Structure 1
Amino acid sequence: MSDDGTALFLTSEEVADLADPADYVAAVREGYRERGHGAPAEPRTTLFSDEPAGMLTGYMAMLPETGAMGGYTYAAGFGERDASFVLPLFDADSGEPLAVFDGASLNPYKTGATGAVGVDALARRSVADLALFGSGSQARGQLLATTAVRDLDRVEVYSPTAEHRESFAAEMNDRLDPTVAAVASPAAAVEGADVVITATNASEPVFDGDLLEPGTHVTAMGQYHPEKREVDSTTVARSTYVPDLRARVEQDAGAFLLAREEGAVGDDHVHAELGEVVTGAAVGRANHEEITLFDSGGTGIETVAAAHMLYERAREEGLGREIEFTPASVAME
């Protein structure tokens, strides 16, 4: 809380233009650096409802050097068939609340930044061609953030609906320096790609892992369910496999779990967490021929890192509405 005992409530609209993709990438990279040095973080917990169909999800992280802790809680589905995100942010020293975010608008940016940190840590330094699967807000966030860490020449976009991929390509082609083009098949996207990013809601693999050329980096970020996956067992088996959190692998990393179930990989196939690669505790890419895979299911690390960056900028800009929290020592007298 501020000196007068208040925290900030920040709306999606207020934080929407406070930072660009490079700012998110810098904040999230710092968050994973702290994780690599032992900052606490836990994978998501999800509760499911059958009637009405929906889920309630939450995850947390503490970033002591950043000075913040908190997480994300969101409800999706249910009667409205929509999603709502709430993000509480606390001071890591005092434990007092700093802010509460209406957290929907920052989601694609902090998630995209995580993918970009993975690309920066694992992809070759010189890459030219990106294959992007997906044409929604998460795909947009991944692409914008990736262009902040690599100078691309060309992006091939594939999604099953031609109208969606073509409109996405047209929008991004106007915004970015690399040529962005829609392609008609997964194979056309993967052919010649230096980096492949999947940002879909698919339950089954979206491309054939045999098509990956030596040296390719893959980021899979659209699935976090033990029985669903965007990449196949071949992709997992051919790759140096790096998840965001080791604890998440056994919980909801469907790509890894299903590859292991099929006998393509064993327990020892997990190379390192992203934070360990960021700090240098583990080698990311050993050579130019290696295929690398970053499995990004979402954690509180990027959430807290991005939210704290936005909170500080909001305070500088005088944004947000002050709200009061009563300490438990007072409320429970």
Structure 2
Amino acid sequence: MTVDGAVHPLLAFDAASVFRLLPPAGAVQALRDAVVAGASESDAPRTMLPEPDGAGTLAVMPAVDARWLGIKVLSIRAATTSQRDAIVGTYLVVDPATGALHATIDGTALTALRTSAVSALALTRLAAPTASRVLVIGTGTQARAHLHTLMGLGRFSEFTVVGRDRRKAEALAEEFPDGSVQVGELEPAIRQADVIACCTSARTPLFDGALVSSGAAIAAMGTYQLTHRELDDTIISRASIYVETLETALTEAGDIHQAIDSGVLRPDELRTLAQLFAPGEQIDFTRPRVFKSCGMSWEDLAVAAEILRRHEQGEHAES
């Protein structure tokens, strides 16, 4: 690309490059740094448009930080087909100094990494110090990403996956070496879990919240529509609830919106990601803890910027 007569090479990072450059722990740290710096307290509005065939949604998510301009463009479909993934897209990084496109990043890989890393970030605070057993509900891209990322923390020792289709759950578990991921049944797995990651597109709650241990922490990320939810009123009423921001939770999170409508939750009971990492925040480990995320534009840019930094400094996942 030529700007003011000078040639600036356009960088392109495919999915393999994303995961090679940035290991899960690095993505979690990049997000933590952004939260501490105040990035999570505001976000640019996203644009959501129906696709021509009515089967999907076009999402456009812009963000700005001290160095870069970022825009994510995604095609999102509720149900996957053999031809494509549920989320397909591209992330564009623009250099504001030149106005030129600086880099493109595989949007599917970036979304998988940043979403699982946001869940993991919250769980670094919300999981009990003695937590060891992780349950992932779902069998798709985000379930896979959450398994990789939570394993990458080096903190948990037992991993179980549960899905509506047991064959898909078994296929996912087989991707991980040495039987490190087991396939379970939903009810006993819920009862035994110290950490639960909900990674589905469910419209109705996945499980009875009464089954959840009082010591458990839950990260629910699978829905971002007011008509959808993964968690029931029972677990919402029992738990301390953390969200990315109040605005995002109240306008996009069906788990939160519907619980408020039913009277089991008040908006003033919600705590934010910024508060979770603020000095002096006290976490009540005698009751369940829930982190509900919907995905925000600042998260994409924080992870994209770290990918660029590592590329420029010659770092990679093994370093």
How high is the TM-score relative to the length of structure 2? 0.86
User: Any conservation in 2 of the 1:119–1:146 contact (CA below 8 Å)?
Assistant: no
**Distance in 2, Cα, partners of 1:317 & 1:153:** 31
Q: Which residue of 1 aligns with 2:124?
A: 120
For residues 105-254 of structure 1, the aligned pairs below 5 Å read 105-149=109-153, 151-174=155-178, 179-184=180-185, 186-254=186-254
Q: Which residue of 2 aligns with 1:283?
A: 281
Q: Which residue of 1 aligns with 2:8?
A: 6
Q: Percent identity, aligned pairs only? A: 25
Q: Between the two structures, name the one with larger relative contact order (CA 8 Å, sep ≥ 6).
A: 1
**Distance in 1, Cα, partners of 2:98 & 2:92:** 15
User: Any conservation in 2 of the 1:155–1:180 contact (CA below 8 Å)?
Assistant: yes
- Could you say if the C-alpha distance between residues 125 and 301 of structure 1 is closer, same or farther in structure 2, counting changes exceeding 3 Å? farther
User: Any conservation in 2 of the 1:7–1:100 contact (CA below 8 Å)?
Assistant: no
**Distance in 1, Cα, partners of 2:88 & 2:40:** 32
Q: Which residue of 1 aligns with 2:64?
A: 62
- Tell me by how many angstroms 1:284 deviates: 5.3
User: Any conservation in 2 of the 1:43–1:299 contact (CA below 8 Å)?
Assistant: no
Post-superposition Cα deviations, 1:124-173, rounded to whole Å, max 9, x if no partner, equal: 22211111101222112112212233522212211011111112223225
Post-superposition Cα deviations, 1:105-136, rounded to whole Å, max 9, x if no partner, equal: 22211111111101012222221111110122
User: Any conservation in 2 of the 1:129–1:155 contact (CA below 8 Å)?
Assistant: yes
How high is the TM-score relative to the length of structure 1? 0.82
Q: Which residue of 1 aligns with 2:292?
A: 295
Q: Which residue of 2 aligns with 1:73?
A: 73
**Distance in 2, Cα, partners of 1:183 & 1:29:** 32
**Distance in 1, Cα, partners of 2:25 & 2:102:** 24
- Could you say if the C-alpha distance between residues 209 and 101 of structure 1 is closer, same or farther in structure 2, counting changes exceeding 3 Å? same
Which structure 2 residue ranges, 5 or more long, are not aligned? none
DSSP-derived class of the 1:104 partner: helix
Q: CA RMSD in A?
A: 2.9
- Tell me by how many angstroms 1:254 deviates: 0.4
User: Any conservation in 1 of the 2:40–2:245 contact (CA below 8 Å)?
Assistant: no
DSSP-derived class of the 1:85 partner: strand
User: Any conservation in 2 of the 1:42–1:247 contact (CA below 8 Å)?
Assistant: no
- Tell me by how many angstroms 1:92 deviates: 6.7
DSSP-derived class of the 1:215 partner: coil
Q: Which residue of 2 aligns with 1:257?
A: 257
Q: Tell me whether 1:34 sits opposite 2:37 in the alignment.
A: yes
- Could you say if the C-alpha distance between residues 122 and 153 of structure 1 is closer, same or farther in structure 2, counting changes exceeding 3 Å? same
- Tell me by how many angstroms 1:316 deviates: 4.3
Post-superposition Cα deviations, 1:208-231, rounded to whole Å, max 9, x if no partner, equal: 111111121100011101000111
DSSP-derived class of the 2:145 partner: helix
User: Any conservation in 1 of the 2:39–2:298 contact (CA below 8 Å)?
Assistant: no
